[in-house]
Chain A
Amino acid sequence: MELRPIISSLRHHALTAALLTLQVALTCAIVCNVAFMVIRRVDDISIPSGIAENELSVIRSDGTDTKQNPQALHQADLAALRAIPGVRSVAAVSYALPLNRQDSYGLVCTTATLSLHSKACKISTFYDGTPHLVDTLGLQLVAGRDFLPDEYTADDRPSAAIISRALADRLFPGQNALGRMIYMGRGPDALHVVGIVATLLRPGLHGPGGSQLSLITSHLPDSNSEAYVLRSAPADRARVLDAATKALFASDPTRIIEPKYVRTYTQIRAAYFQRDTTMIGLFIASALGLLFVTALGIAGLANFWVQQRRRSIGIRRAVGATRRDILRYFQTENLLIVTTGVVLGMALAITLNLQLMKHYELPRLPLWYLPIGALALEALGQAAVLLPARRAARVTPVEAIRGP
C-alpha cells in the first residue's frame, strides 16, 4: 500500500486528524492506567484468608445479663447451635475474625522485652476461640498440632499459640518456629508455639507483608459478648443463620443480636471490599465509556470523510482501483492516525502514572500494559472504521461523473 497519497490527503485535514490522534492518545493513556488500577484492586479483593469462607457463617451475640457465667453460656449456646441440622462444626471467638474489621492486635516478640522498635517484635493479630476453632475455620495446619484440651484457659495468660506461616517466617527467619517461645501482652506472657497454619488473614488489611501476621492463642472467650462461627454446606448457610438466631434467642431472649452482624462469610468479604468493588465498577464503566466515545469519534469522522470524498473515490475506481484498494485505503489511513495516537498515548500513560504515584500511592505501571493497550486501541480503530470503509468501497465509478 502506497502511503504517500494517504499522508498528503491527511495533510488537507491536518487539524482534524491531529485532534483524532490526540483523542486516541488520551484514551490510550487513561485506559492503560485504569486497567492497571482495576487489576490491582481485583488482586486486593481476592486475597486469600486461609479459611473455608464458602462454608462459614458468623453470628454475633451480646448478652445483657452481666451475671451470667460466660463459660457456661458458651457451652450451652454451642450445644444448641451444634444441634441445628446441617451444622457440621461450631466454635465461639471473642470478636476478631479474618476481614471482619474487629481487630485485636499488639506486639509479639521472640524476646521477653517488648518494644515497637525491636527487630524481634512484630505487630500481629491475636485471635482466640473455643476448642475446634481450627477445624471449624478449615485452617490448614502445615506443622504441629491443634491445642490440647488442657491448654485452653479463660484467664488472661494462655500458654500456647498457633501462628501463621507468615508470622513464623518473620519472627524466626530461616528457622523452625515450632516449639519456640513467643512473648506478648502486658505480662509479658510467654507462649509456646504448638502449630503453624498456612494462611490466616488479619481482620483488616495492612499492606504487603502485614496482612497475614496473625496468631491464635489458647485463650477461651471470656465475656458474654461473642461471635459464633458455624460451618455448613454452602447452600445451607442462610437457613443455618436463621435457625441459629432463633436458637440463641430461645435460650436467652434478653441478648442482643443485631441483623447486620448475622452474616455469611461471603457477605463479610463483600462488606470489607465494597469500596473496592465500587471503584472497580466505576473504573470499568469509565474505561468502556472512553473506548466507546473514541470509537464513535473514529467512526463518525471516517463516515464523514467517505461522504466528502465520494467523487474522488469514484474517480479512483474509474481509473482502475478495486473495491479492495478503497477499503485498504481507509483502513491504512485509520492505522496511521491510531498508531501515531498510541505512540503518543504510551508516553502519556507513563506521565499519568507518575502523577498518580505521587498523589495516590500507586505503584509503577508495568511496561507490558502499554503494548496491550496499544493493540487494543488499534483493534478498536480498525473495527470502528470497518463500516465506513466498506461503504466507501461500494462507491461505483459512476460517481466520478455525477454532480456533488
Chain B
Amino acid sequence: MIGYYLDLALNSLRRTPVLTGLMVLAISLGIGASMTMLTVLHVMTDDPLPGRSAHLYTPHLDPLPLKYASVSAGRDASANLTWPDAMALLAAHRATHQAAMAGGRLQVHPANSALRPFYADGRYTTKDFFTMFGVPFRQGHGWNSSDDTAGAHVVVLAESLAHKLFGNDVAIGRMVRLNDDDFRVIGVTADWRPSPLFYADAAAQHYDDSDQFFLPLAAAADLQLDVNGNMDSWIVSSDDNMRRPTLTWLQFWVQLDTPAQVAAYRRFLVDYSEQQKSLGRFQRPASHAKLYSLMGWLAHDNLVPSDVRLQLWLALGFLFVCMVNIVALLLAKFLRRSNEISVRRALGARRGDIFVQFGVESAVIGLCGGVLGVLVAELGLWSVRHRPDDYAHVARMDVPMLLSTLALAVVASVLAGLLPAWRACSVAPALQLKNSN
C-alpha cells in the first residue's frame, strides 16, 4: 500500500513542480541553517576526553579576603589556586591521581642554526598529568616525584615540536633551550589535544591552543617562567615570587574513581578550608570550597559563546517559519485535490487511507528537503570553518549529525503535513462529487 501511495505522491509532486520545488527549497534552507548551528554547538559541547572525563574533577578553594575588588571586571580571582594550596592538595594525596598545572609560553632556541628562535605554548605541571589524562607517549616517559620536588630541568615534547627541532632523530636525551635554560628531553607524546582544552585557564583559546611541551611546575616556579593565563593577586607588594600565598594562577585536576571517593574529597576540601580559616589564612566560609566534575566545570566556565546560542535560536526560528510556510502550501495543495479525495472516498478508501496517502507525500517532500538541507548545512559549516574564530575549525558534521539532519527534515515535514492531511481526510465524499464541475 505504501508503495502505491509513494507512486501517487510522486505523481502529484510531478504535476506541480514549481510548488514542490518551493517547498523542498524552504525546508532545506530551514534544515540547513539549524543543522549548521546545531553541529557547531554539538562539537563545542562534546566530551573532550571520552572514557576518562567521568572520573576527572577540579577542586576550587576561596582564598580571597572578604573585601576584594578586582579592576578586571567579570573575572573570578578564585577560579585558580595559589601555590601553597595546590602543593597542600598534592601532598595530601587524597585522589587516585592529582596534578597542578599552568600554561606557559616560552622561547625555543633550536640548536640547528638554520632555524630561527620561536615561541611555543606548553604546560608546567606535575607528574600525574600524563597518567591521569592518558597522554599517549611515542618515546620515553614522563617524570617522577623526585623531579617534581627538585624542579628538574627535564621536558616532554609533543611529536610535532620534537620533529621540528630534531627531524627524524631520536629526541630522548637531547637538550632543548627554553628561554634561558637548557632542558633534557625525557619523553615525546603524540600530538594530543582534548577539545576543548578543558584544563586550561579561562584566558586560553579553548578550541585552538595546544600544548607543545610539558615541564615540571617546580622548575617553572624556580626560574620564574612566564605564565600564559590569568594571575590574580590581592596584596599590592613588590614581591613577585610565584610561590606567594596571595597569588592565584594554578589549575588543579584530580581523578576520583568511586562516588565514595568523590564524597570524601568534597569533605576533605571543606575541612582543608576550615583549617586554613582557623590558621587565619582564609577569610571566607569554608563552604565556598567546591569540587566540579569535568563536564560540570565546562558548563560553569560556559565556553560556548553566547553568540553561538543566539545563532542557534535564530536558525530554529528560521526553521519554524519555513515549517509554517510548508503547512500553508501543503494545505492549499491537498485541499485543491478535494475531487480526487472524494472519488477515492466514494470508492471505499477510509479516512485513515487518505491520511496515510498525504502523510507519505509530506515525507517525500521532507526527504528531498533533508538531502538538500545536508548540502546547505555542509555549505554553512564550510563557511563557518573559514572564519578565524577559535572554535571554527572544529565545525564538522559526523555521521550521527548527518542522520539526525535527515531525520529532522522528515519529522519536520511530516509534522507540517499533519494538519493539511487531517483537513484533507475530513472531506465529505458526496458533497464534493456533487460540486465537482
From known contacts A283-B314, A293-B29, A303-B18, infer whether A275 and B325 are also in contact, taking CB-CB under 8 Å: no
Selecting from A18-26, A194-202, A322-330, the interface stretch reads A18-26
Q: State the CA gap A146–B321 with chains docked (Å).
A: 59
Contact partners of B25 in chain A: CB under 8 A: 296
- Closest chain-B Cβ to A275's Cβ sits at a distance in Å of 6
Instruction: Tell me whether A308 and B117 are in contact (CB under 8 A).
Output: no
Complex interface bits, B326-356 against A, C-beta within 8 A gives 1, otherwise 0:
0111011101100000000000000000000
Please give me the residue from chain A that is nearest to B177 by CB atom: A64
A-B contact list, 7 entries, CB within 8 Å: A64-B107, A275-B389, A286-B315, A293-B321, A300-B19, A301-B332, A304-B333
A15-B423, A256-B117 given; A293·B388 CB < 8 A: no
User: Which residues of B are at the interface with A, using a C-beta cutoff of 8 A?
Assistant: 18-19, 22, 25-26, 29-30, 33, 69, 71, 73, 107, 109, 116-119, 180, 236, 238, 305-307, 310-311, 314-315, 317-318, 320-322, 324-325, 327-329, 331-333, 335-336, 387-389, 419, 423, 436-437
Please, how many angstroms separate the alpha-carbon atoms of A255 and B119 in the complex? 11
Contact present for A282 and B314 (CB under 8 Å) = yes
| Interchain CB contact under 8 A, A293 and B325 | yes
Binary interface encoding of chain A residues 240-265 relative to chain B, with 1 for a CB under 8 A from any of its CBs, else 0: 00000000000001111010000000
Evaluate contact between A116 and B71: CB separation under 8 angstroms. yes
Of chain A, the residue at the smallest CB distance from B71 is: A123
Is A46 among interface residues, defined by CB-CB distance under 8 A?
Answer: no
Distance from B393 Cβ to chain A, minimum over Cβ atoms (Å): 14
Whether B437 and A404, one on each chain, are in contact in the complex, defined by CB atoms closer than 8 angstroms, is yes
Of A30, A106, A300, which contacts B71 at CB under 8 A? Answer: A106
B29 A64 Cβ-Cβ under 8 A: no
Question: Can you add 15 more A-B contacts, CB < 8 Å, to A360-B310, A404-B437?
Answer: A15-B419, A16-B328, A20-B328, A23-B321, A23-B325, A26-B324, A116-B69, A256-B117, A274-B388, A274-B389, A289-B33, A293-B318, A297-B329, A300-B18, A308-B336
- Taking CB atoms, residues of chain B closer than 8 Å to A297 are 22, 26, 325, 328-329
Tell me the complex Cα distance, A16–B324, Å: 10
Give the contacting residue for A256; candidates B116, B310, B311, B335; CB below 8 A. B116
Q: Nearest A residue to B310 by beta-carbon distance?
A: A360
Q: What residues of chain B lie closer than 8 Å to A255, measured between beta carbons? A: 117
Residue among B18, B180, B310 with the highest chain A CB neighbour number at 10 A: B310
A139 at the interface (CB under 8 A from B): no
| Interface status of A370 (Cβ within 8 A of chain B) | no
- Assuming the A-B contacts A293-B29, A305-B332, are A23 and B117 also in contact, with contact meaning beta carbons closer than 8 angstroms in the complex? no
Interface check A186, CB cutoff 8 A: yes
Q: How far, in angstroms, from A116 to B236 measured CA to CA in the complex? A: 13
Which A residues lie within 8 Å of B236 (CB)? 186
Interface residues on A, range: 35 or more
A382 interfacial contact with B, CB 8 Å: no
Q: Are B307 and A275 in contact (CB under 8 A)?
A: yes
Quote the shortest CB–CB distance from B293 to chain A (angstroms).
25
Q: Is the CB of B29 within 8 A of A289?
A: yes
Q: Is the CB of B119 within 8 A of A258?
A: yes
Known contacts A16-B328, A116-B69, A279-B307: does B117 contact A300 (CB below 8 Å)? Answer: no
Q: Which residue of the partner chain A has the closest CB to B322?
A: A293
Q: Is A66 an interface residue (CB 8 A)?
A: yes
A119 within 8 A of B: no
Are the CB atoms of B107 and A62 closer together than 8 Å?
Answer: yes
- Nearest neighbor of B30 in chain A, beta-carbon distance: A293
Distance (whole angstroms) from the CB of B227 to the closest CB of chain A: 16
A13, B328: Cα distance in complex, Å: 10
Interface residue ranges of A82-127 to B (CB < 8 Å): 105-107, 116-117, 123
Q: Is A6 an interface residue (CB 8 A)?
A: no
List CB contacts (< 8 Å) of A11-46 with chain B: 13, 15-16, 19-20, 22-23, 26-27, 30, 34
Who on chain A is nearest to B437 by CB?
A404
Closest residue of B by beta carbon distance from A255: B117
A290 close to B389 (CB less than 8 A): no
**CA–CA, A228 and B387, complex, Å:** 28
Chain A residues with Cβ under 8 A from B336's Cβ? 304, 307-308
Contacts of A301 in B (CB 8 A): 328-329, 332
- Are B119 and A256 in contact, CB atoms less than 8 angstroms apart? yes
Question: Does A403 have its Cβ within 8 Å of any Cβ on chain B?
Answer: yes
Measured between alpha carbons, how far is A296 from B19 in the docked complex, in Å? Answer: 9
Q: Which of A107, A254, A279, A296 has the most CB of B within 10 A?
A: A296
Given A64-B109, A117-B69, A296-B26: A30 and B388 interface contact (C-beta under 8 Å): no
**How many angstroms from the CA of A300 to the CA of B328 in the assembled complex?**
10
Establish whether residues A107 and B332, one from each chain, have CB atoms under 8 Å apart when the complex forms.
no
* Cβ of A136 under 8 Å from chain B: no
Give 1 or 0 for each of A304-323: 1 = CB within 8 Å of chain B CB: 11011001000000000000
Asked if residues A27 and B321 are in contact (CB atoms below 8 Å), the reply is yes
B372 → chain A closest CB, angstroms: 14
Is there a chain B Cβ closer than 8 Å to A294's Cβ? yes
Let me know if A30 and B389 touch, CB within 8 A: no
Closest to B323 in A: A23
Minimal Cβ-Cβ distance residue in A for B390: A275
Contact B117 A64 (CB under 8 A): yes
- Top 7 closest A-B pairs, CB basis? A19-B328, A297-B325, A116-B69, A23-B324, A304-B332, A300-B22, A26-B321
A343 at the interface (CB under 8 A from B): no
**A23 touching B328, Cβ below 8 Å:** yes
B18, B314, B331 pick with most chain A CB within 10 angstroms: B314
Query: How many Å lie between the Cα of A275 and that of B310 in the bound state?
Result: 13
Known: A34-B314, A297-B329. A275 touches B305 (CB 8 A): yes
A404–B236 alpha-carbon span in the complex (Å): 91
Most chain B beta-carbon neighbours within 10 Å: one of A254, A274, A304: A304
Decide yes or no whether A365 CB sits under 8 A from chain B. Answer: no
Contact residues in B for A271 (Cβ distance below 8 Å): 388
Q: How many Å from the CB of A60 to the closest CB on chain B?
A: 11
A278 on interface, CB distance cutoff 8 Å: yes
> Which residues on B sit within 8 Å (CB–CB) of A305?
332
Q: What is the CB-to-nearest-CB distance from B83 to chain A, in angstroms, rounded to a whole number?
A: 22
Q: Is the CB of B328 within 8 A of A293?
A: no
Closest to A258 in B: B119
